[in-house]
Amino acid sequence: MSASVTVDTPSGRVRGTVERGVARFLGLPYAAPLDGAGWFLPAEPVVPWTGERDATGYGPTVPKPGYQGPVAELLADEPDFPGPECLNVNVWSPGVDGAAPVVVWIHGGAFRNGSNRSGTYDGAAFARDGVVFVGVNYRLGALGFLDTGDEHTNLGLRDQLAALQWVRENIAAFGGDPSRVTVMGESAGAMSVACLLSSPLSAGLFSQAVMQSGAGHHALRRTTAQTVARELAARLGIEPTREAFAGVPIARVIAESQAIDLEVRSAPDPKWGEIALNTMVFEPVVGDDVLPALPIDSIRAGAGADVRVLIGRNADEGRFFIVPGGVIDQIPEPMALGIAAAYGFADPAATVAAYRGSENLSAGEVFTALLADYTFTLPALRLAEARDGAPSDTYVYRFDQPSTALDGRLGATHAVEIAFVFDTLAAATALTGPGAPQALADEMHAAWVRFLRGEDPGWAPFAEARAVRVFGGAGGISTDPDAAARALWDGVR
């Protein structure tokens, strides 16, 4: 049985539901509806309403292509309900009369997919344990990260900033404490969090940050991003201006963007600059008021030093992208050597041999490990290292629990930890596989809740002997468990 609950916000009254002691408000707009040219311009403030707004059902999702190929089967929980009021948040609260800590969730999806409607992102367990949870939608792909050379850059990040400002102004009405906000994300969401951590525009919006499988190395030079804009415009038969893009049906913009994306990933070309290695056509861009510099460089210079950080990655990240469809078994030796060379190793053969080690890994397994370390392992470690001496602590974890999906070949793959953190294993069985251990979800979720409350998550900060909490597998607290990879990549990444 559920009951109704209403709260008054600066924009008007909203009505949600209460079930099992958790209040839920869904589809709340943090910006005005998008229409026409507005899809490619900064979001406008919410227009206040009269009467009582129904917040008992999810709102629309941002336009996106959806996941393609075999990986789509692992992410079956990816709803698509487009609509103009897609810049919305979902809120779960332990009680609207309280002043609980708040976590704001930024979903992943390579900056081109994802939404806050996924059942894996249900925030009820956080609210059950005393934390107000806010799940955010933000613009993706060309809608969020197109750079036409004007001042309207990084719209997706600006959406996230607008959502955080909404939290600051509204969350007290839902029982949250606006002075105790954590911003948390995974994959592209974690890369977004690193961008926000480094951005001068985020000052005062959050005091803690959680980054799961993403850090501060992924962003594009504006010249690279504008190359993408010109290519997309040429394929659409328009001039590369924001006004011209706004005159094209969004579905067509997405379709042509997807075609470029597939082309880049299947046949990298030097003309794409850093995209050839980052493998994402649309990413945040560097050189504006949101991101004056690459996030990791700003963080090394002290940006976000007063923000407590929890960061980590999964042991087998790369297998998510290579195992489905059997690609890992089709990669020849020259591709393993080629990726080592592309990543900047002076002796690719020696690097491949070091990765192959005594286990005699196949070329596909070496390729996958290199991809994972370049994209996830080293960026996480470098961000933690960059915060040595910061006034706020940095905690590092690694997730080692293997998925049982695809006959166990995925290992502790990308994104599999999310359902453990959220305590939503039942919603993610396509990725976790059957038999995911609830005890590990209890353990991991509890550690995150402790951090969100401002407490010690259960292990020492990274600055103390490179302490890393390992979840799953052998488990426990390890000292510098990725020392070999870190040493191998010194001077390279």
Contact of 397 with 93, CB cutoff 8 Å? no
Strand partners, 450: none
Residue among 136, 199, 180 at smallest CA distance from 308: 180
- Report d(CA 156, CA 111) in Å as an integer: 9
Strand partners, 297: none
Residues noted as catalytic: 187, 317, 414
Residue among 231, 398, 199 at smallest CA distance from 304: 199
